[in-house]
Chain A
Amino acid sequence: MSDKPRASQTVVDDFGDGPVLTASRCPSCGDTRYPPRAWCVNDQETMERVPVSPVGTLYEAVWVSRPPYGFREPYYVGYVDMPEGIRVFGRIEANGHELEHGMQLAHRIDVSRTEPEDVLGPIFAPAAS
Chain B
Amino acid sequence: MTESVYVVGVGITPFGKFADESMKSLGRTASRTALIDAGISPRDIDLVSAGSARSGMLHGHESGVGQMVAWELGISGVAVYNVKAYCASGSSAFNVAYMALAGGFNEVALVVGVEQLSVRAEKGRPITSDGVEIESDFGFTPPAFFAAVTQEHMREFGTTREQLAAVAVKNRANAVHNPVAQYRNAISIDDVINSPNVSGPLNLFDCCPTGDGAAALVLMTESAVKRLKVGDRAIRIASSVVRSGEYEQVKSLTTFNLDVLASKQAYEKAGLGPEDLDVVEVHDAFTITELIHIEDLGLVAKGESGPAVARGEFSLGGRIPVSTSGGLLTKGHPLGASGTAQLVELVEQLRGESGVRQVDGAKVAMAQMSGGFMESDLATSCITILTR
Contact = CB atoms under 8 A, between A and B. Distances in A.
A94 interface: no
Interface stretch (B49-57, B146-154, B321-329, B362-370): B146-154
B39 interface: no
Interface string B231-258: 0000000000000000101110100000
Interface stretch (B174-182, B195-203, B263-271): B195-203
A8 B134 CA distance: 7
Interface in B141-193: 141, 143-144, 147-149, 151-152, 155
A68 B128 contact: yes
B250 A86 contact: yes
B20 interface: no
B275 interface: no
B354 interface: no
Contact of A66 (B126, B140, B151, B247): B126
B249 A87 contact: yes
A39 B216 CA distance: 41
B250 A85 contact: yes
A71 B143 CA distance: 15
Taking chain B's interface residues, is the majority helix, strand, or loop, or is none over half, making it mixed? loop
A119 interface: yes
Contact of A64 (B128, B151, B199): B199
B126 A35 contact: no
A78 B138 contact: no
A33 B249 contact: yes
Interface string B126-143: 101000001111111101
Interface string A22-59: 00000000001111000001000000000000000001
Kindly name the residue among A63, A68, A91 whose own CB sees the greatest number of chain B CB atoms within 10 A: A68
Given A60-B148, A87-B250, A113-B139, A35 B155 contact: no
Contact of B140 (A59, A89, A119, A122): A89
A89 B138 CA distance: 7
B376 interface: yes
B125 interface: yes
Contacts of A86: 249-250
Interface size class of B (residues with CB under 8 A): 20 to 34
A12 to B, nearest CB: 10
Contacts of B196: 65
A62 B138 contact: no
A62 B249 contact: no
Contacts of A101: 151-152, 155
Nearest to A91: B139
B344 to A, nearest CB: 31
Interface string A77-121: 111010001110111000000000100000000001100000101
B197 to A, nearest CB: 4
Contacts of A60: 148-149, 151-152, 253
Contacts of A90: 138-139
Contact of B139 (A8, A32, A75, A87): A75
Interface of A: 8, 10-11, 32-35, 41, 59-71, 75, 77-79, 81, 85-87, 89-91, 101, 112-113, 119, 121-122
10 contacts: A8-B134, A33-B249, A33-B375, A62-B148, A65-B196, A69-B122, A81-B250, A85-B250, A89-B138, A101-B152
Interface of B: 122, 125-126, 128, 134-141, 143-144, 147-149, 151-152, 155, 196-201, 247, 249-251, 253, 375-376
> Closest 7 interchain pairs by CB?
A62-B200, A60-B148, A62-B147, A121-B138, A65-B197, A77-B139, A69-B122
